[in-house]
Amino acid sequence: MGFFDRLKEGLTKTRKSITEKIDQVLVAFGKVDDELFDELEEILVTSDIGVDTSLKVIEDLKKKVRENRVTDAMKVKDLLKESLAELLAEENSELNLESKPSVILVVGVNGVGKTTSIGKIANLLKQQGKKVILAAGDTFRAAAIDQLDIWANRVGVDIIRQAENSDPAAVIFDAIQAAKSRKADVLICDTAGRLHTKKNLMDELKKIYKVIDRELPGISRETLLVLDATTGQNAVSQAKTFNEISDITGIVLTKLDGTAKGGIIIAIKSELDIPVKLIGVGEKMDDLQKFDAREFVEALFS
């Protein structure tokens, strides 16, 4: 099964939540009027797309309907797909990995699938022929270090780790030296996920950035925020908070297959203007893939 088919299958719950309801409304109405738009707006709002984003989508849809002089309700669906694809489209959705080594810093609260995502990103990059090293920077949880070790073995990449409660910046320093000496293409760094101690987390990330800037000046750097799609609007709140304490360059959205709240991807892009770069639709190693806006909308409406 190709990734599009897995994506389509993974979005089953979201499709029931959004597109099946849209189809029912379009069939019931037949004609295009304000009441139809109100019904569509309500479906979007109740599908974790959020009020502001839903209003934005419906306004764009009305404009498209006027410009195309659409009077048949069933034809509204194609224009809605177009609106959503345009909203989600992002010029810089590719990972910026131009330098050697490049660094990917991965942030996110505990429990969102951060460590698992790192393993899957390492697998994705290894399949592209890149030499990857992992840095176990979440030193406050022994389980996080051990879990990353398991993923490193599974994928077949090196890992740099220290004892529990070591200084995360020191782990990153060692990992950078290893990346240089072993001529790695990409260094992926795990970080602590303790958002409730925001000040500590901010200080910790600052120290890590300082080490990276000093040891690898001018390199390509990504800071990816891992979010759990099943948390719905809470994911938007997390993204806002992390964006305050760190310069987030992209989102990794996990567990899309386990939720009816896949519409959150639209809210995140619209409200925060941070590109969704990778999405996960299952437990398998290759179930995390590059996000493609048109492919996502096609899978959602298929």
pLDDT 10s digit of each residue in the chain, 302 long? 677 888 888 888 888 888 889 999 998 987 899 999 999 999 998 888 889 999 999 999 999 999 999 988 888 999 999 999 999 887 678 899 999 999 999 999 888 889 999 999 999 999 999 999 999 999 988 799 999 999 999 999 999 999 988 999 999 999 999 999 999 999 999 998 776 667 788 888 999 999 999 999 999 999 999 999 888 888 888 888 888 888 899 999 998 887 777 888 888 888 888 889 999 888 888 889 899 988 889 888 88
Q: In what order do the strands lie in the sheet with 102-107?
A: 158-160, 132-135, 186-190, 102-107, 221-228, 250-254, 276-280, 288-290
Is 241 annotated for ligand binding?
no
Superfamily holding 102-301: P-loop containing nucleotide triphosphate hydrolases (3.40.50.300)
Is 111 annotated for ligand binding?
yes
pLDDT score of 17? 82
CATH 3.40.50.300 in the chain is located at: 102-301
pLDDT score of 91? 66
Is 137 annotated for ligand binding?
no
pLDDT score of 148? 96
Is 30 annotated for ligand binding?
no
Is 96 annotated for ligand binding?
no
Is 256 annotated for ligand binding?
yes
Is 277 annotated for ligand binding?
no
Is 119 annotated for ligand binding?
no
CA distances from 31 to 54, 65, 71, 115, 173 (A): 21, 12, 6, 49, 63
Is 115 annotated for ligand binding?
yes
pLDDT score of 19? 85
Is 139 annotated for ligand binding?
no
C-alpha span between 259 and 279 (Å, rounded): 13
Is 194 annotated for ligand binding?
yes
Superfamily holding 3-88: SRP54, nucleotide-binding domain (1.20.120.140)
Is 14 annotated for ligand binding?
no
Is 191 annotated for ligand binding?
yes
pLDDT score of 103? 98
CATH 1.20.120.140 in the chain is located at: 3-88
Beta bridge partners of 222: 104
The length of the chain, given as a count of residues: 302
